[in-house]
Amino acid sequence: MKSAITISLVNEARGGPFVFWDDLPAACRQASELGFDAIELFAPGPDAISKDALAGLLKQYQVGLAAVGTGAGWVKHKLTLTSPDAAIRQRAIDFVKSMIDFGGPHGAPAIIGSMQGRWGEGVSRDQAIDWLKAALEVLGAHALPYGVPLIYEPLNRYETNLITTESAGVQLLQSLRTDNVRLLADLFHMNIEEVSIASGIQDGGRWIGHVHFVDSNRRPAGCGHMNYGPIIAALKGIGYGGYLSAEALPWPDSLAAAKQTIAKYKELTD
């Protein structure tokens, strides 16, 4: 398994679960100095930084790009893949495509989290799932030439009513024609929704392509009541070799959260 740490450049997401904020070069330097393998970038859009400038930073600080978030499409532009408005759904797909094109050249998959939206207000569950599936087909295929999957994230019930568990996520992905979509296992959401986090990981199995590494209260790993032993054992059991990416609150501050995360990561994976 590999370590990663989040950085947000999205003003509208302030207060959200990202360790570093605003200053990408400084975050890359700190991630590198602390020994993280990669950063995960939550950017306002594909023009946040040029391809060459991003490649330069990753090379200078010897960190990979683990993934790119697409949530700015929701928090900035109010786009979702399941909006009742066809024009908004299309703009949502186009936004995610642009983020796949942003991360893809650096080997980073895009994550669909809040962009999935929810059913209700005139949209039936079946209709929303059909729109979500149609979007995942197109976006999974769009990611394929980059040699990266598309990552789909089940969220807890307060953030979506579509897919809230890894097992429901597997069912969804198995119903697609594309084989290029993988699941995100966010330990915070799983702590709310799964019978146990370890069993949720077993349910996800080979479909799990990314992990958000965080504690029960969304503070850095080790600052809540998460029992990591069975979680790491389950990840090893499914042969997971991807990132444990710290999507956590900058608690008590960004640097302390990063130090806490890498210490816990090493303790658990050494």
Footprint on this chain of ligand LER (rule: CB under 6 A): 71, 113-114, 153, 155, 159, 186, 212, 247
Catalytic residue among 40, 166, 194, 247: 247
Instruction: Say how far apart CA 62 and CA 56 lie, in whole Å.
Output: 10
One of 247, 249, 260, 262 touching Mn ion (CB under 5 A): 247
33, 121, 153, 159: the catalytic one is 153
In angstroms, the CA 147 to CA 111 distance is: 15
Cα(74)–Cα(77) distance, integer angstroms: 5
Binding partner of 137, given ligand LER, Mn ion, none, CB within 5-8 angstroms per partner class: none
Give the count of alpha carbons within 13 A of 148, CB side only.
Answer: 27
Nearer to ligand LER, 69 or 104 (CB): 69
Task: For 209, list phi and psi in degrees, rounded to 5.
Answer: -120, -5
Taking contact as CB under 5 A, which single stretch among the options 97-105, 125-133, 196-204, 242-250 is the one that binds Mn ion?
Answer: 242-250
Cβ 19 vs Cβ 261: under 8 Å: yes
Q: Which is nearer to ligand LER, 164 or 167 (CB)?
A: 164
Residue 153 annotated among the catalytic residues of the structure: yes
Q: Nearer Cβ to ligand LER, position 37 or 247?
A: 247
Distance between CA atoms of residues 257 and 259, nearest Å: 6
Residue 71 binds which one of ligand LER, Mn ion, none, with CB within 5 to 8 A depending on kind?
A: ligand LER
Which residues 6+ apart lie within 8 Å of 258 measured at CB? Answer: 5, 19, 20, 30, 31, 34, 36, 220, 246
Instruction: Find out whether the peptide bond into 252 is cis, omega within 30 degrees of 0.
Output: yes
End-to-end CA distance of the chain: give it in Å, rounded.
Answer: 10
Q: Which stretch binds Mn ion (CB under 5 A): 144-152, 181-189, 194-202, 223-231?
A: 181-189
> Of ligand LER, Mn ion, none, which one sits near residue 169, judging by CB under 5 to 8 A according to partner kind?
none
Q: Which of residues 99-138 bind Mn ion (CB under 5 A)?
A: none
37 binds, among Mn ion, ligand LER, none (CB under 5 to 8 A by kind): none
Q: Is 137 a catalytic residue?
A: no
Q: Which residues bind Mn ion (CB under 5 A)?
A: 186, 212, 247
Q: Which residues are designated catalytic?
A: 153, 247
